[in-house]
């Protein structure tokens, strides 16, 4: 079963999800790019920041989710948004800035895509991306442990599961392609509020394929136990629920 994305659910913590994009963009030194592409644009709220940064550029957002593209078109008029799979995407002409925010982790063996993505950038242009690096945290391991239980395993065996590499792996891969690379990591301490906030977070992203793959009669029980274990792993404090979230950032300057 192919999963679908819910823009409203994804944007439940839009500020927290957007902060890494802003930090990534700050390291892209492009001055007057003519073409800028957001590969995996989601609901378009962050693509809008690219247009603000480079108002003279032609800015386009691409995403494999029709639901996300529809939301982006409604929310950000004036920009171009289209449905496209980054595994197949190739621009008509090389672009000056290519940005991919929290997308590559969904593509198995995405290191193999890097040469083609670099080739899609004009000489002297910029390729920047960030991916989660928190897959050993309870927010992911609890889902995996629960999904492996006999009642659920057969239903979720083939669902999409995100993964990524350490900064040094990306640096080496892109340096071998001749790029000048700036790679780093950061752990954000998101203070979340509301009922079962960590479940709300993960059910909009990493856990969504698993939840959608479950039959209707099994999903409520899975969700209830998932919520319980997450609440135990991320206890509420007076100031909210703290969700540590490690991110991996890469900014590459393509050789001229």
pLDDT in tens, 180-238: 999 999 999 999 999 999 999 998 888 889 999 999 999 999 999 999 999 999 999 99
Structure confidence by residue, pLDDT tens digits, 54-72: 999 999 999 999 999 999 9
Structure confidence by residue, pLDDT tens digits, 130-143: 999 999 999 999 99
Instruction: Quote the pLDDT of residue 1.
Output: 44
Q: Which three-class secondary structure state does DSSP give residue 101?
A: strand
**What is the domain partition of the chain in residue ranges?**
7-136+161-193+244-253
Domain 7-136+161-193+244-253, CATH homologous superfamily name and number: Vaccinia Virus protein VP39 (3.40.50.150)
Instruction: Quote the pLDDT of residue 185.
Output: 98
CA neighbor of 44 nearest in space, from 73, 20, 18, 24: 73
Taken in order 221, 222, 225, 230, the sign of the CA dihedral is: negative
CA distances in angstroms from 38 to 66, 105, 123, 155, 192, listed in the order given: 15, 16, 18, 33, 27
Dist CA 119 CA 244 (whole Å): 35
């Amino acid at each position: 079963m192919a999963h679908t994305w819910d823009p409203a659910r994804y944007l439940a913590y839009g500020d927290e999800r957007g902060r890494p994009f802003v930090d990534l963009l700050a390291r892209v030194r492009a001055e007057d790019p003519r073409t800028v592409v957001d590969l995996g644009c989601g609901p378009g709220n962050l693509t809008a920041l690219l247009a603000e940064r480079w108002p003279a550029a032609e800015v386009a957002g691409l995403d494999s989710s029709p639901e996300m593209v529809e939301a982006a078109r409604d929310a950000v008029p004036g920009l171009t948004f289209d449905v496209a799979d980054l595994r197949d995407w190739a621009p008509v002409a090389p672009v000056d800035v290519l940005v991919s925010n929290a997308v590559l982790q969904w593509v198995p063996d995405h290191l193999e895509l890097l040469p083609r993505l670099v080739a899609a950038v004009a000489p002297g242009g910029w390729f920047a991306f960030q991916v989660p690096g928190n897959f050993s945290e309870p927010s992911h391991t609890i889902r995996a442990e629960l999904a492996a239980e006999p009642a659920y395993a057969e239903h979720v065996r083939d669902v999409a599961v995100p993964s990524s590499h350490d900064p040094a792996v990306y640096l080496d891969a892109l340096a071998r392609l001749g790029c000048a690379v700036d790679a780093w990591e950061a752990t954000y301490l998101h203070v979340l509020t509301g009922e079962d906030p960590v479940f709300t977070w993960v059910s909009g992203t990493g856990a969504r394929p698993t939840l959608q793959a479950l039959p209707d009669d099994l999903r409520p029980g899975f969700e209830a136990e998932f919520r319980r274990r997450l609440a135990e792993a991320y206890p509420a404090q007076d100031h909210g629920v703290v969700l540590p979230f490690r991110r991996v950032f890469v900014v590459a300057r393509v050789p001229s």
